[in-house]
């Protein structure tokens, strides 16, 4: 791990690996949460399984937490190093000529997603940890759907979430294909396919999350 994070290439590689892990997490997270749109029972069953399975709770959850924190810390480290290495006057160049807004502003979209994650943890995760591990309350399968549904009763929260999901899309639009580039997955035939897939991914995943938030708001 120390070897991976001690050089710029190693850091970019490690950053890309954590990004790929988070890309998979997002698909799983969206799939489970989409169940809440189809009915309380399916969502309650899935949440109870995820919430009380020891492998998910004590192996996958800590790995996920590590990946999230690592990704953000490493993102900021790489950004600071890039800024220091950048020749004076670089940012006055016409950046849009050879790069996208999304690629030049990963730190901004990433910062908004980080702020969203703090709100999101406060909304759902802390409540869950308190319920199970601090207060030691018994398993009550039917609570999950109601907890989620009631969170989206407030318009301000739905608006904040939707803005964050929009910026998640912007972040993914560059991040998806960039993570493949950083691990050296470049090929004249496959790179265009990865880019096209990444474009669809960065549209459909945020749209799925937006759909969930808006669905619960309008069905209060």
State the number of binding residues for ligand HEM (CB under 6 A). 19
Binding part of the chain for ligand HEM, among 3-11, 38-46, 161-169, 176-184 by CB under 6 A, reads: 161-169
Select from 76, 124, 131, 197 the one that contacts ligand HEM (CB under 6 A).
124
Stretch near ligand HEM under the rule CB under 6 A, chosen from 73-81, 82-90, 121-129, 186-194: 121-129
Please give the residues from 168 up to 187 whose contact with ligand HEM meets the rule CB under 6 A: 168
Closer CB to ligand HEM, 14 or 113, in the complex:
113
- With beta carbons less than 8 A apart as the criterion, state whether 12 and 75 touch: no
Q: Does 212 bind ligand HEM (CB under 6 A)?
A: yes
Q: Contact between 120 and ligand HEM (CB under 6 A)?
A: yes
**Three-class DSSP labels, the chain:** CHHHHCCHHHHHHHHHHHHHHHHHHHHHHHHHHHHHHHCHHHHHHHHHHHHHCHHHHHHHHHHHHHHHHHHHHHHHHHHHHHHHHCCCCHHHCCHHHCCCHHHHCHHHHHHHHHHHHHHHHHHHHHHHHHHHHHCCCCCCCCHHHHHHHHHCCCHHHHHHHHHHHHHHHHHHHHHHHHHHHHCCCCCCCHHHHHHHHHHHHHHHHHHHHHHHHHHHHHCC
Query: Binding of ligand HEM at residue 20 (CB under 6 A)?
Result: no
Q: Measured from the CB of residue 11, what is the shortest distance to ligand HEM in angstroms?
A: 22
Q: Rule CB under 6 A: is residue 148 a binding residue for ligand HEM? A: yes
With CB under 6 A as the contact rule, the residue among 51, 95, 111, 166 that binds ligand HEM is: 51
The verdict on 29 binding ligand HEM (CB under 6 A) reads: yes
Q: Which residues bind ligand HEM (CB under 6 A)?
A: 29, 33, 51, 61, 64, 68, 113, 117, 120, 124-125, 128, 148, 161, 165, 168, 209, 212-213
């Amino acid at each position: 791990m120390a070897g991976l994070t001690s050089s710029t290439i190693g850091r970019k590689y490690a950053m890309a690996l954590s990004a790929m892990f988070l890309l998979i997490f997002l698909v799983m997270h969206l799939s489970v949460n989409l169940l809440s749109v189809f009915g309380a029972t399916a969502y309650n069953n899935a949440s109870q399984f995820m919430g009380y399975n020891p492998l998910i709770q004590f192996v996958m959850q800590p790995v996920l937490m590590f990946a999230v924190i690592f990704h953000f810390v490493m993102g900021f480290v790489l950004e600071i190093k890039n800024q220091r290495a950048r020749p004076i006057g670089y940012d006055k160049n016409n950046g849009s000529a050879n790069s996208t807004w999304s690629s030049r502003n990963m730190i901004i979209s990433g910062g908004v997603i980080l702020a969203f994650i703090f709100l999101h943890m406060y909304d759902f995760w802390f409540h869950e940890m308190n319920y199970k591990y601090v207060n030691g309350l018994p398993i009550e399968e039917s609570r999950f759907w109601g907890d989620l549904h009631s969170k989206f009763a407030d318009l301000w929260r739905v608006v904040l979430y939707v803005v964050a999901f929009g910026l998640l899309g912007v972040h993914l639009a560059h991040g998806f294909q960039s993570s493949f580039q950083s691990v050296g997955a470049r090929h004249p035939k496959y790179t265009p396919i990865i880019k096209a897939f990444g474009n669809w991914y960065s549209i459909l995943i945020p749209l799925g999350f937006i759909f969930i938030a808006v669905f619960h708001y309008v069905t209060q």
